[in-house]
Amino acid sequence: MYLHVQRLINEIVPDEPDPAAANALQEGLGGQFGEMRTMMQYLFQSMNFRGPAGKPYRDLLQGIGTEEISHVELIGTTIAWLLDGSPRYNGKKTDPLDTPGAGGATPLSIALDHSNIHHYLVASQGALPVDAAGNPWSGTYVYNSGNLVLDLLYNLMLESTGRLQKCRIYEMTDNKTARSTISYLIVRDQAHENAYARALETLGVDWGKVLPIPKTNAEKFPEVKKLLDLGLQSKQYSFDLTGASEAGKIFRGMSPSKDGTELDATEQAPAGVPITIAEERFEEFSPGLDPELLALIQATADIEMAEVLPVFGPIPPSDPT
Name residues contacting a copy of itself, limited to 59-98 (CB under 8 A): 62-63, 66, 69-70, 72-73, 76-77, 80
From 89-97, 184-192, 226-234, 285-293, give the range in contact with a copy of itself by CB under 8 A: 285-293
Rounded-to-integer distance, Cα 313 and Cα 108, Å:
45
Rounded-to-integer distance, Cα 1 and Cα 235, Å:
24
Q: How far is the CB of 314 from a copy of itself (least distance, A)?
A: 7
Nearer to a copy of itself, 47 or 94 (CB): 47
Give the total of residues touching a copy of itself (CB under 8 A). 179
Query: Residue 48: helix, strand or coil by DSSP?
Result: coil
Q: How far is the CB of 91 from a copy of itself (least distance, A)?
A: 18
Is 165 an interacting residue with respect to a copy of itself (CB under 8 A)? yes
Nearest to 38 by CA among 180, 157, 210, 200: 157
Is 59 marked within a binding site? yes
From 30-38, 88-96, 184-192, 227-235, give the range in contact with a copy of itself by CB under 8 A: 30-38
Q: Phi and psi at residue 307, in whole multiples of 5°?
A: -65, 130
Q: Which position among 94, 209, 229, 260 is part of the footprint of a copy of itself (CB under 8 A)?
A: 209
Nearest to 98 by CA among 277, 288, 278, 280: 280
Q: Phi and psi at residue 262, in whole multiples of 5°?
A: -110, 140
From 88-96, 162-170, 184-192, 227-235, give the range in contact with a copy of itself by CB under 8 A: 162-170
Terminal Cα distance for the chain, rounded: 24
Is 71 marked within a binding site? yes
From 90-98, 184-192, 208-216, 227-235, give the range in contact with a copy of itself by CB under 8 A: 208-216
Is 265 an interacting residue with respect to a copy of itself (CB under 8 A)? yes
Is 118 marked within a binding site? no
From 25-33, 88-96, 184-192, 227-235, give the range in contact with a copy of itself by CB under 8 A: 25-33
Helix (H) or strand (E) holding 181: helix 176-201
Report the alpha-carbon angle 45-48-51, nearest 5. Answer: 100
Q: Which of residues 115-144 bind a copy of itself (CB under 8 A)?
A: 116-118, 120-130, 132-140, 142, 144
Is 35 marked within a binding site? yes
Q: Let me know: does 80 contact 125? Beta carbons within 8 Å.
A: yes
Whole-number CA gyration radius for the chain: 21
Q: Which position among 12, 82, 167, 232 is part of the footprint of a copy of itself (CB under 8 A)?
A: 167
Quick one: residue 19, left, alpha or beta (phi over 0 = left, psi -120 to 50 = alpha)?
Answer: alpha
Amino acid sitting at position 261: T
Is 11 an interacting residue with respect to a copy of itself (CB under 8 A)? no
Q: Which position among 43, 185, 195, 228 is part of the footprint of a copy of itself (CB under 8 A)?
A: 43
Report the C-alpha dihedral over residues 78, 79, 84, 86, rounded to 10 degrees. Answer: 120
Helix (H) or strand (E) holding 8: strand 7-8
Is 210 an interacting residue with respect to a copy of itself (CB under 8 A)? yes
Is 34 an interacting residue with respect to a copy of itself (CB under 8 A)? no
Is 254 an interacting residue with respect to a copy of itself (CB under 8 A)? no
Q: Let me know: does 60 contact 194? Beta carbons within 8 Å.
A: no
From 88-96, 184-192, 201-209, 227-235, give the range in contact with a copy of itself by CB under 8 A: 201-209
Q: Which position among 85, 153, 231, 254 is part of the footprint of a copy of itself (CB under 8 A)?
A: 153
Is 290 an interacting residue with respect to a copy of itself (CB under 8 A)? yes
DSSP 18-41: -HHHHHHHHHHHHSTTSHHHHHHH
